[in-house]
Amino acid sequence: MHGLTNKAIEVFVKQTYGTAKWQNVMEKAGFGFSEFEAMLPYEPEVTVRLLVALREVFHRPARLMIEDLGTFLVTSPTLPAIRRLLRFGGVDYADFLHSLEDLPERVRLAAPDLVLPPLELTETGPNNYYLRCYAGLPGYANLMLGVLRAMADDYGALAILDLHKRPQGGDIIAIQVVEDEYTAGKSFTLGQATA
C-alpha cells in the first residue's frame, strides 16, 4: 500500500480532529510510531489496522470516516492540487463523471507509485449513472462517494448518490444528476495565477 493513502488519513484526522486524537488512533493501532511517511510502501494490513483504530477511537463506522476523508481531499484548502486534478475532468459535473475512468491514470501521472483500482462509469438513463469501484483499496467506494459529493458541490450540481455494496467486490455508486447547474459552484480557472 502506498504511504500516501495512510498519510492522507493522518492529515485528515489531524486537521479535522486535532493531533491528540491522531495520537489516540496510533496508540490504539499499536504501530510503535506516530506518523506515516508518504513515500514509503506499507503492507495492506497496516491500513486495515488504521481503519479499525479509527472506528474504535471515534465510535463511528470506518466507512463514514473514509467518506469524510473523500470530502476532505476535495475541500481542504491545504490540498488544492487534488481539487485541481479532479476539476481538469470537465467543465461541468456530467463531464467530470465521464472522466472518472481516466482518474487512476491521471493520479499515476502525479504519483507514479500510487495505484488506484479501476473505475467504470455506465450511463443508465438521462442524467443517471452507475460508477463501479473495483476492489483493491480498503474503503475505495466510500472514498469515491465522499469525492463525488464534494465535486457535485464544487461544480454547483444537485446530485443524489447511493452506494450499493457488493460482497464479491466492485461496489457500485448510483448517481442521479437532478440539476447540473443548481448553484453557481466554486470558481475554477484552467491556468494557475502567477506571482
Q: CA separation (Å) from 117 to 40, 65, 67, 114?
A: 19, 20, 17, 10
Model confidence pLDDT, tens digit, residues 14-31: 999 999 999 999 999 999
Sorted by sequence, the CB contacts under 8 Å of residue 154 that are 6+ apart come out as 74, 75, 83, 86, 87, 185, 186, 188
Q: CA separation (Å) from 96 to 17, 31, 50, 129?
A: 30, 38, 31, 12
Q: How far apart are CA 96 and CA 116, in angstroms?
A: 17
Model confidence pLDDT, tens digit, residues 141-193: 999 999 999 999 999 999 999 999 887 778 999 999 999 888 888 887 766 55
For 2-11, what is the mean pLDDT? 89
Q: What is the pLDDT of residue 170?
A: 84
The grid coordinates of residue 55 equal 472506528
Q: What would you measure as the largest C-alpha separation in the chain, in angstroms?
A: 52
Q: What is the pLDDT of residue 194?
A: 46
Q: How confident is the model at residue 50 (pLDDT cuts 50, 70, 90)?
A: very high
Q: What is the pLDDT of residue 192?
A: 57
Q: What is the pLDDT of residue 1?
A: 58
**Mean pLDDT estimate for the chain:** 90
Q: Which letter does DSSP use for residue 117 in this model?
A: P
Please report how the helices 103-110 and 80-87 are oriented relative to each other, as an axis angle in degrees rounded to 10: 140
Q: What is the pLDDT of residue 107?
A: 87
Bridge-based pairing state of the strands 158-164 and 119-125? unpaired
What percent of the chain shows pLDDT beyond 90? Answer: 64
Model confidence pLDDT, tens digit, residues 71-95: 999 999 988 888 888 998 889 999 9
| Report field, pTM of the whole predicted structure over 0.85 | yes
